[in-house]
Amino acid sequence: MKARLRDPVGEQDIQRAWRGIRAKRALAETGSSRWTVGWLAGGALAMCLLLLFAGILPRPTLGYGETQALRAESGAPLEILSGAAEGPRDVRLTDGSRITLEPGAEAEVLENTGRSFVTLLRRGRTRFEVRPGGPRRWSVECSLATVEVVGTAFTVTRTEHRVLVEVHKGIVLVRGERVPERVRRLTAGQSLELSDEPAPVSTPTPEPKLAPEPPVVAPPIPRAPPVASAESWRVAARRGDHALAYARLGEAGLRREARRAENIETLLALADVARQSGHPLQAAELLEQASREHEGEPWGGLAAFTLGRLELETLGRPSRAAEAFARVIKQGEPRGLQEDAHARLVQALSQAGAWEQAREAATRYEQLYPEGYRLQDVRRWATGP
């Protein structure tokens, strides 16, 4: 039984339930698109039944919600995807979809199941070509917006303060606080650019003044270059070499950069370096800092959710995990993580031995998500003394 219920891919498949309910709600708001997706869902179900009947799917006895994750045709792991320095990098997936990352781009796969595929575009320009009519709901998170899609081709470009979504074919939904009316439907040939930069303030141009004669000074004494610059760890992290990034920082450097961090992206990048280089306690401190300093923001909620996973699955501290998941639920952000946060709260409370609270949390989950795809897991976790 445990083998049947275990997550099939591990890290890349940990966040199995990111978008189900929110995608359904989004489709319900788009009128006629709901009718269209109903046909697509029917086609996806028929395809799955055909594969099962033909014996192609290897695990016909899997429980509800246990489905096959996507893989790269090359066999490379679908965790951190980075663009190559010499040119665009193509990542072809086993369902026929394709992700093309331009040089400097980086995306992280947050969820990968038979029902949904969720990526976080950290930086750069990336094109997504999603196989139409497939069973998965694709979502791309990019701080200022969430792009939701069934089957289409689109490009997302992310810089420090801007996000540009361009649709080449098909339809996408773009959601976010900075999106006009919080949601925008884009079709082929349309684009949407979002920015978090404040409007420039005009100032009068001062009258030109004659510059005084510069004093004669001795040339500065050249300094020896630092052993590891502040940017060097970032370069290694963007390549996915988190061990090298940590070696360049060290524990003291990690704390120093965390104090200097001007945005949550830097804190999350430092947490990734610590977590993926085998320093989970330091990663937990950084995620705690990020979630507290940016409470109420979508990225703050993402930090709290990641902290909960780390506490539960790596550090073995379920009580702290429960606190983190409860913060995600209280904030209500990101909306796409709410169902999984409710489910994970039940799991954490049950592992902490708080059975009464676990059953209460399970009841809340069933009330909110009566057809949720973590329903069987929630009921199993809530079964105790």
Specify if 205 maps to a domain.
no
**Residue 78 pLDDT > 50:** yes
- Same domain for 242 and 328, yes or no, is yes
Helix (H, G, I), strand (E, B) or coil at 149: strand
Task: Output 312-319 pairs: Cβ under 8 A, ≥24 positions apart.
Answer: 312/344, 312/347, 312/348, 312/351, 313/14, 314/275, 314/280, 315/280, 315/281, 315/284, 318/347, 318/348, 318/349, 318/351, 318/352, 319/348, 319/352, 319/354
Dihedral (CA of 194, 78, 300, 273) sign = negative
Per-residue model confidence as pLDDT tens digits over 288-337: 998 888 887 777 888 898 899 999 999 999 999 999 999 999 988 777 67
- Same domain for 172 and 237, yes or no, is no
- CATH number at 248 reads 1.25.40.10
What's the domain range around 80? 1-196
Closest of 148, 199, 142, 144 to residue 177, by C-alpha? 144
- Same domain for 127 and 237, yes or no, is no
- Same domain for 240 and 182, yes or no, is no
- CATH number at 136 reads 2.60.120.1440
Q: 88 preceded by cis ω (within 30°)?
A: no
- Same domain for 28 and 145, yes or no, is yes
Report pLDDT for 378: 93
Specify if 206 maps to a domain.
no
- Same domain for 188 and 250, yes or no, is no
Specify if 215 maps to a domain.
no
Return the percentage of the chain with pLDDT > 70, whole number. Answer: 72
- Same domain for 248 and 377, yes or no, is yes
- As for how many domains the chain has, the answer is 2
Per-residue model confidence as pLDDT tens digits over 167-224: 888 778 888 888 887 778 787 778 888 887 654 444 454 545 545 545 544 445 444 3
pTM: 0.49
Specify if 73 maps to a domain.
yes
- Same domain for 151 and 246, yes or no, is no
- Same domain for 62 and 162, yes or no, is yes
Could you tell me if 318 and 285 are in contact, meaning their C-beta atoms sit under 8 angstroms apart? no
Specify if 210 maps to a domain.
no
Helix (H, G, I), strand (E, B) or coil at 377: helix
Specify if 213 maps to a domain.
no
**Of the candidate ranges 147-156, 226-235, 333-342, the one whose mean pLDDT is the lowest:** 226-235
**What's the whole-number average pLDDT of the chain?**
75
